[in-house]
Amino acid sequence: MDRILLVDDDRDLSALLARSAAEENLAADCCASGREALALLEQGDYQLVVLDVMMPGMDGFETMARIRAKSGVPILMLTARGDAESKVRGLRAGADDYLTKPFAMEELLARMQSLIRRYTRLNRQGEGTPRLEYQGLTVDLDARTLTTQQGTFAPPPKEFDLLLYCARHQGKILTKAQIYEAVWGEPYVYDDGNIMAVISRLRKKLEKDPAHPHYLQTVKGVGYRFNKDV
């Protein structure tokens, strides 16, 4: 059974989410602070973290930064804030998805299942070689890791999925709509912030000079392309 970690100081909401998750065959642990969450993540294996932004003490952004320093587990952020700045900040900091309160329980559960499915199953269908090799970059499909001259690391699911999708279409110009629908698994609604945030984080990890990317290239006015010459 997949296990999720619910991090929210609203204990009533956490209890409701845990009950709803159980109906979807998801085991849920609940905690009310970032410090508790970090301790639980050290002890257990989770396939998803649902993280509230507005918590006393260590808020959701700081908690996520500490999680991302050690883990690529999917993170779905919950917040009462609806402004674009908070959303972009969360995505740039490493969130895989973002949902504003109040929300429909059905939508939350669908997003949770989508993130878990991609984290645990995507790219494990045995499509031949378990690795993709490029100049200075190795993509390990089984371990879901990237290896560069700087070492090996496991990026968050959206980062890995986006890079893999572009790499598998090496040299082809991909529109933002194509990338969004393939990686996020939902219709494109002209929300370019998600794509731009993930690509920005990837470039910082992969590129010697993120301002002049070698792997993920921007095709102005169209979308992106994985460099055909690597």
In the chain, where are the structural domains located? Answer: 3-121, 131-226
Query: What confidence category does residue 125 fall into, taking pLDDT thresholds of 50, 70 and 90?
Result: very low
Phi and psi torsions of 138, nearest 5° = -120, 130
| Locus of tokens 């973002």 | 98
pLDDT value, residue 173: 84
pLDDT (average), residues 72-97: 78
Bridge partners (DSSP) of residue 195 are none
pLDDT tens string 13-57? 999 999 999 999 999 999 999 999 999 999 888 999 999 988 888
> Three-state SS for 119?
helix
- Beta-carbon contacts of 67 under 8 Å, excluding residues fewer than 6 positions away, are 37, 38, 41, 49, 73, 75, 94
Do residues 111 and 194 touch, judged by C-beta distance below 8 A?
Answer: no
| Locus of tokens 């499909």 | 141
Q: Which residue has the higher pLDDT, 4 or 175?
A: 4
- % of the chain surpassing 90 pLDDT: 36
| Distance, CA of 17 to CA of 78 (rounded, Å) | 12
- % of the chain surpassing 70 pLDDT: 92
| Locus of tokens 């560069």 | 148
| Distance, CA of 177 to CA of 65 (rounded, Å) | 28
pLDDT value, residue 216: 93
> Three-state SS for 199?
helix
Instruction: Give the side-chain half-sphere CA count within 13 A for 9.
Output: 13
pLDDT exceeds cutoff 90 at 83: no
pLDDT exceeds cutoff 70 at 82: no
pLDDT (average), residues 198-219: 90
Taking all residues of the chain, what is their mean pLDDT, rounded to a whole number? Answer: 85
DSSP one-letter code for 128: S
- Measured from the Cβ of residue 1, the count of other Cβ atoms closer than 10 Å reads 7
Assigned architecture for domain 131-226? Orthogonal Bundle (1.10)
* Topology (CATH level 3) of domain 3-121: Rossmann fold (3.40.50)
| Distance, CA of 217 to CA of 121 (rounded, Å) | 27
pLDDT exceeds cutoff 80 at 123: no
pLDDT value, residue 200: 92
pLDDT (average), residues 88-105: 81
Taking the whole predicted model, whether its pTM rises above 0.85 is answered as no
Do residues 67 and 42 touch, judged by C-beta distance below 8 A?
Answer: no
